[in-house]
Structures are given as C-alpha cells and as structure tokens.
Amino acid sequence: MDKLNYKSYRIEAENICVDYHGKVALYDANLRLKAGQICGLVGMNGAGKTTFFNALTGFVNISKGKIRINGESLKIAQQDQAIAYVPQSEGIDCQFPVSVWDVVMMGRYGSMNILRSPRESDIQAVKDAIDRVDLMELSSIPIGNLSGGQRKRTFLARAIAQRASILLLDEPFAGVDIRTEKLISELFIQFKNEGKTILLSTHDMIHVREFCDLVLLINKTVVAYGETSEVFTPENITSTFGGMSPDVSFGPES
C-alpha cells in the first residue's frame, strides 16, 4: 500500500484482522475516509460490521493491521473524544429513572473532571444537541416513557453532544418512525456539510443510495469499497450476501 499522508484522513484502517477465541471475525479489512464523507457499511448479519466498529473504537483488540484516527493512534483518539459510537441497542436500562437530559449529558463525560461537574460549555452542548433532534420539550422525560424513535434520537443527541469529528452508527434507521427517519436523514446531510465523517451500517439499501458517498461491502473481509455509484451493483451485493440477493432496488440505471 502506498505511503499515506494520514493527516488527510479521518479514518485510516489498513489490513485489520480481529480474532475471537481463535475464530476469525474480520480479516484484511481496509477503509479510508476523509472529512465530510458518508460511508455505508453493508453486509449480512455476522459479516463483521459490528466487529469493524469495535475495532475502530478500540473496544476490541486487532490481531493484525493498523488504525489511525485523524492521523493519530486509537489511544490519542479516545483521549480526544474523536469518535462517537451509537450502537444499535443501548446498554441503558430504559426502566431506570434517567431523563433525556441525563442521557445526552453522558456525551460530555469524557470532557469533564473526575467529579463530572458540568461546565457552562457542557450545558450548552447538551442543549444544542437536544434541540437538533427536536426533543427539547421532552428533555426532562424518563427515557422509558419515550417511543423507540424518540429513544433513538436521544442516543444520537448524546453523540452530537460529544462533538466528535467521527460518528459511527449501527443501524440508525432500525425500528424508527417516519418522522425520526426523516430527521436523521436531514441531520446526516448537516453533519456532512459541517465536515463530520460518518460510517453507518444499515440493511436499508435505499438509504445507501440516497446519501452515502461511499459504500463498503463486507463479508468477514471487504468485498468491495468505493463510490456508491460504482460499487453498489447487483453483482457485488450478491457476492456480499453469500450468493443470496437481498431485496434491493437499484433504480432505472440497473
């Protein structure tokens, strides 16, 4: 691979391999993303999408390869709060009496002191994030009282409050209502214009074609990667899903 100017990439993953108890979960995976790019991560269940996310955030150790975030090591990226990760299912107990405001404030924890005393800048970041997902009127409501779409927006607001340059989103459109789907789509375009980099996994092929600049097709390794118009083809999709072609509309050009 050619020598790179890492500073020109927000995410640079080279030949990433991850093993779980001797079983290969991901091998020789590569990805390069710059500021303002939106990339769709597409593959069947068990293809390694979540593993790739976990490797990029440092949640799992890689057995081979190299990852740099904003030109720096993962350790420095974690210290800088450079990556905000929104998993498909959150670990927060929705029966626990925690409000929308409390959840979004968690996105500021990495910037606070050990006592987690919010500064004015933290409070403003939370206000801005809640406003962007249109939940200000519900900010004091326990998350257990919210709809699925409202909870999804709450956890997205937590990532916004972190003010990270990179957003990793695992199935952001799963189980949401039409209003939330529209709001998230609009936010993605705003994030792009703000120079944020987005990597999102999704089974919704329509959204991939709608606003993803790039697509990474994965099946334990990278099957194809590049501009959506060139890579997102019926042949590549079929290879990605192990010979099973999912229900995908490629529009009039296919």
Can you tell me the mean pLDDT for 224-239?
A: 91
Pair 203, 47: CB distance under 8 Å? no
| Model confidence at 46: pLDDT above 90 | no
pLDDT category of residue 244 using cuts at 50, 70 and 90? low
149 located within any domain: yes
The residue with tokens 């390069």 is 32
> Same structural domain for residues 234 and 170?
yes
CATH number, residue 8: 3.40.50.300
6 located within any domain: yes
47 located within any domain: yes
What pLDDT score does 115 carry?
Answer: 75
What pLDDT score does 249 carry?
Answer: 43
Write down the H helix ranges in the chain: 49-57, 74-79, 100-105, 120-132, 148-162, 178-193, 205-211, 228-231, 234-240
> Same structural domain for residues 75 and 199?
yes
What is the spatial order of strands in the sheet that 38-42 belongs to? 83-86, 166-170, 197-201, 38-42, 214-218, 222-227
| Model confidence at 2: pLDDT above 80 | no
- The domain of 43 spans 1-82+165-247
51 located within any domain: yes
Mean of the per-residue pLDDT values of the chain: 87
What would the pLDDT profile of 28-40 be if each residue is shown by its tens digit? 999 999 999 999 9
What pLDDT score does 6 carry?
Answer: 44
Q: How many domains does the chain have?
A: 2
Least confident of 60-69, 175-184, 212-221, 243-252: 243-252
> Same structural domain for residues 193 and 131?
no
> Same structural domain for residues 25 and 125?
no
> Same structural domain for residues 76 and 3?
yes
254 located within any domain: no
Phi/psi of residue 194, nearest 5 degrees = -85, -5
> Same structural domain for residues 146 and 241?
no
Q: According to the per-residue pLDDT averaged within each range, which of 38-52, 86-100, 109-123 is highest? A: 38-52
CA distance 254 to 246: 15
CA distance 13 to 32: 6
> Same structural domain for residues 1 and 77?
yes
> Same structural domain for residues 73 and 102?
no
Can you tell me the mean pLDDT for 43-69?
A: 93
What are the tokens at 95? 């029966």
Higher per-residue pLDDT: 202 or 253: 202
Q: Which of 163, 182, 207 is the last residue of a domain?
A: 163
